Structure 1
Amino acid sequence: MRTMLLSFKPKWYNLIKDGSKIFEYRRIFPDEEIMAYMYVSSPMKQIVGKIHLGRKIDINTWKEKYKDDSEICKRIDEYLIRHKYAMPVLSFQMTKEIELRTLQEFDSKFVCPQMYYYLENYPKLFEFIKKNAIEIGELKVNSFEEIDRDDICRKKY
């Protein structure tokens, strides 16, 4: 499984952390399971956790599955304006924080991801993050055996 550094706004990070957001939506994403360190943008500006994402789901396939539910289809259409894929958040793990300043001290060329990048392409940075992003707290695992209709392209969090 490949590992990436994935950028989040604080709002989305907090919803993943508290378990209320079980799908991550993106316009572009690889078609494989991913382990990702979560970089949270301003005002936090730090790596704060890890998530295991399942294979991407084309949101259009949900339109067929939920074609008899006009409310869900409307939400899907609204999401399709900005997103194409949903990745199940299989698990979330808090880590010891690594601040942007610390990352830049380690590597003066460090750049925060706009979306994501693969850490395997930056082996020294990858080792530094693995060494310093120490897992804390309990691993939170999401079950997808029964997906509530409200979990599909949620209208408001």
Structure 2
Amino acid sequence: MLLSFKPKWYNLIKDGSKIFEYRRTFPDEEIMAYMYVSSPMKQIVGKIRLGRKIDINTWKEKYKDDGEVSERIDEYLEKHTYAMPILSFQMTKEINLETLRKFDSKFVCPQMYYYLENYPKLFEFIETNASEIGKLKVNSFDKISKEDICRQEY
């Protein structure tokens, strides 16, 4: 999968402070995604492993007696339906938009995401050129607190 992010979200994932990705629609299985970061970066910069999606409404029920968390959840439900745990993050060698378009002149940046399996040559090009660099960062979900649910800065 190729998943699009704004630079702000990429930086929060990279530093480990963002541990859930929120989307309106998303596949139900655990998935690995290459991260395309939009303007001004305009490049693939890493990959993440996302866990199975969580319906945010289940949190609404769980935290119904906590007004602060319930309010945050309600705000998120205006734009999002699911939260996916960010299981891990791995920096990769950058592939900029210009390089992607040289490889495939029809390359279009995803608005949200698309499956690279539908584009086997592009998938192979990205896998070959987005080699892993740095250390794999793994997030722990053993002790999720209410502060981790629908955090305001996300």
1:127 aligns with 2:134: no
1:99 corresponds to: 96
1:53 aligns with 2:50: yes
Report deviation, 1:156.
2.1
RMSD across aligned positions (CA): 0.7
Q: After TM superposition, which residue ranges in structure 1, 4 or more long, deviate above 4 angstroms? A: none
Alignment of 1:9-48 (within 5 A): 9-48=6-45
3-state SS of the aligned residue for 1:28?
A: coil
* Rounded Cα–Cα distance in structure 2 between residues aligned with 1:32 and 1:68: 30
In structure 1, what is the equivalent of residue 4 of structure 2? 7
The runs of 5 or more residues in structure 2 that have no matched partner are none
In the alignment, the residues of structure 2 paired with residue 150 and residue 95 of structure 1 have an alpha-carbon distance, to the nearest angstrom, of 30
> Percent identity over the alignment?
84
Displacement of 1:60: 0.3
Q: Normalized against structure 1, the TM-score is what? A: 0.97
Corresponding position of 1:150: 147
- Cα drift, residue 68 of structure 1: 1.6
Q: Which residue identity is paired with 1:134?
A: S
Query: Match for residue 77 of structure 1?
Result: 74
Structure 1 unaligned regions, length at least 5: none
User: 1:148: Cα distance to partner?
Assistant: 1.9
Cα deviations by residue, 1:43-89 (Å, 9 ceiling, x for unpaired) = 00000000000000000000111112110000000000000000000
The answer as to 2:101 corresponding to 1:116 is: no
Supply the distance in 2 between the matched residues of 1:136 and 1:112 (Cα, whole angstroms). 23
Q: Distance in 2 between matches of 1:117 and 1:156?
A: 26
What is the distance in 2 between the residues matched to 1:109 and 1:150?
42
The number of residue pairs the alignment matches comes to: 154
Taking structure 2 as the reference length, the TM-score comes to 0.99
| SS of aligned partner of 1:150 | helix
Q: How many Å apart are 1:149 and its aligned residue? A: 1.4
